[in-house]
Structure 1
Amino acid sequence: MPELVVAHTRLFLLEQLRVPVGLLASSLFPAISMVAFVVPFAGDDPRAATMATGSMMFFGAMAGTLVNLSITVAQDRELPWNPYLRTLPAGPVPRFTGRILAALAGTLVSVVPVLLVAAFLTEATTTPLRLLLGLGALVVGVVPFMLMGLFIGSVMSAKAAIAASQVLFFPMAIVGGLLLPPAILPDFIEVVSPYVPTRGVAELLWAVTAGTTPNAVALISLAGWTVVAAIAAAWAYRRDEGRRFS
């Protein structure tokens, strides 16, 4: 089983390298946003720049998980090769594990441009330990968005998955405070924000990298979203398997 997981992970990593558009988008867009909006307006404030760096790191990571996973899973379901793989004795675990590990690797790569912008163009500051904790929080934080991507990809066609993932991605980024600080959000958005999963991840990143006090409601909400997303992804996979193989 471990050998199959490694083989599938290598396959998905090679696919990302051969068609690197998704990886480039999730890496460069947050860095460009940092240069355009964070550097001129918050680059001289160490605390604000550090928090913005955490937000932009997660912005790119969410694009690489929620959007890319939903599209690639949906595309796989439309290929003749995928149903054949699901009939093999190894089952779906090696392929799903390999896809998730490849997505996590892409997530870690996507934060590099943001960290470089923060290091050379802003006054953002943190310790090596806090940076490592931030990367760990990022990996934990993208789990519910991976599960959402798996759910969307398992119930929709590739074209529909593109639209659905984008419709979820940008509103959650805005309401969760990734693009604008929560303090300057409109009152009605600020009320809803702690209940959006993106806000919970942002609070976790801000706490471990900038030393802020996290919003407890946002963290509890994130845990709830993770459970719901896991149940939904498992249901969607079994539903798809039952419709196509029973």
Structure 2
Amino acid sequence: MRLALAHARAETLQFARYPAYSLPTLAFPAILMLIVGSPLSRGEPERLLAGFAATALLTVTFFQFGVGIATARTTPWETYLRTLPAGAATRLAGRVLSALVFAAATVAVVVVVGTTVYGAGMAPWRFAALVFALLLGSAPFALLGIAFGYWLPPRAALPIANLIFLPLAIAGALWARPGDIPHGADLASQVLPTRSWIEVLDSIATGDSPLPLHHAAALIGWALAFGALAWWGYRRDEGERFR
């Protein structure tokens, strides 16, 4: 655990000293919320808050995990880390803890905007349940980001992460009411992990519907699939560069 905490501290300081990463990461979801959030906020500010909190976590998992790992894994520092007596699980735990720091800060900015600008509010127990669902629901996307990091070359990681991030957010209804989506697109989006995530978050944030257990089960399935892909990518990278 001490090694994981030390690795997390080093990762966090590295990103914090890089304003080109840290400032856009913190500001992007809240700015996007201010730009496109007004139509969604009418009568449903809690759903707006849940959708953009999920966007904040999606940003961190894709770009800190995906792009960060893809960029770092070919550096001499990463090569050196693999010679130390710390296994992959320890380094991964450090990355997760570091990402949680940025995720908490980014979600906090979204919560401030959602409550002060759009008037979102919920009971403390409901807010705690929403935070819990945000953390658990982000697991498939964190694993997908890790898979990006180990499968994609550094120069391809950022454009491909952007190409996948936007369709997942838009088609998954993170930024729209499901009722506003055309019927065909609504049916197609049901198979996306982001749609399952927002359905779970929406039921908790608004209390308008029971927890959709089939969407919760779908998130577990996505987590297992992306976890297998991430582990396969890690072993493949290790076999190619450290034989």
TM-score, normalised to structure 1, is 0.92
CA distance in 2, matches of 1:92, 1:242: 13
Q: How does 1:72-221 map to 2 (within 5 A)?
A: 72-213=68-209, 214-221=211-218
Judged with a 3 Å threshold, the aligned counterparts in structure 2 of structure 1 residues 95 and 31 are, in CA distance, closer, same or farther, namely same
Show CA shifts across 1:64-104 (max 9, x none): 11122111101111101212211222222222110111111
Judged with a 3 Å threshold, the aligned counterparts in structure 2 of structure 1 residues 42 and 76 are, in CA distance, closer, same or farther, namely closer
Report whether the alignment pairs 1:237 with 2:234.
Answer: yes
Letter of the 2:16 partner, please give it. L
Judged with a 3 Å threshold, the aligned counterparts in structure 2 of structure 1 residues 230 and 53 are, in CA distance, closer, same or farther, namely same
Between 92-101 and 29-38, report the one with greater CA deviation: 29-38
- Structure 1: state its 5+ residue gaps: none
CA distance in 1, matches of 2:67, 2:200: 27
Report whether the alignment pairs 1:6 with 2:5.
Answer: yes
Same amino acid, percent of matched pairs: 31
Report whether the alignment pairs 1:24 with 2:23.
Answer: yes
Asked whether the equivalents of residues 40 and 177 of structure 2 are also in contact (C-alpha less than 8 Å), the reply is no
Instruction: Kindly state the Cα deviation for residue 133 of structure 1 after the two structures are TM-superposed.
Output: 1.4
Letter of the 1:87 partner, please give it. T
Query: Secondary structure of 1:195's match?
Result: coil
CA distance in 1, matches of 2:40, 2:49: 10
Asked whether the equivalents of residues 196 and 221 of structure 1 are also in contact (C-alpha less than 8 Å), the reply is no
- How large is the RMSD of aligned CA atoms in angstroms? 1.5
Asked whether the equivalents of residues 41 and 48 of structure 2 are also in contact (C-alpha less than 8 Å), the reply is no
Asked whether the equivalents of residues 30 and 60 of structure 1 are also in contact (C-alpha less than 8 Å), the reply is yes
Instruction: Kindly state the Cα deviation for residue 42 of structure 1 after the two structures are TM-superposed.
Output: 4.3
Letter of the 1:158 partner, please give it. P
Asked whether the equivalents of residues 203 and 212 of structure 2 are also in contact (C-alpha less than 8 Å), the reply is no
CA distance in 2, matches of 1:26, 1:217: 31
Query: Secondary structure of 1:89's match?
Result: coil
Report whether the alignment pairs 1:224 with 2:216.
Answer: no
CA distance in 2, matches of 1:38, 1:244: 46
Instruction: Kindly state the Cα deviation for residue 155 of structure 1 after the two structures are TM-superposed.
Output: 1.4
Asked whether the equivalents of residues 71 and 153 of structure 1 are also in contact (C-alpha less than 8 Å), the reply is yes
- Structure 2: state its 5+ residue gaps: none
Asked whether the equivalents of residues 194 and 215 of structure 1 are also in contact (C-alpha less than 8 Å), the reply is no
TM-score, normalised to structure 2, is 0.94
CA distance in 2, matches of 1:43, 1:218: 24
Q: After the TM superposition, which segments of 4 or more aligned residues of structure 1 sit over 6 Å from their partners?
A: none
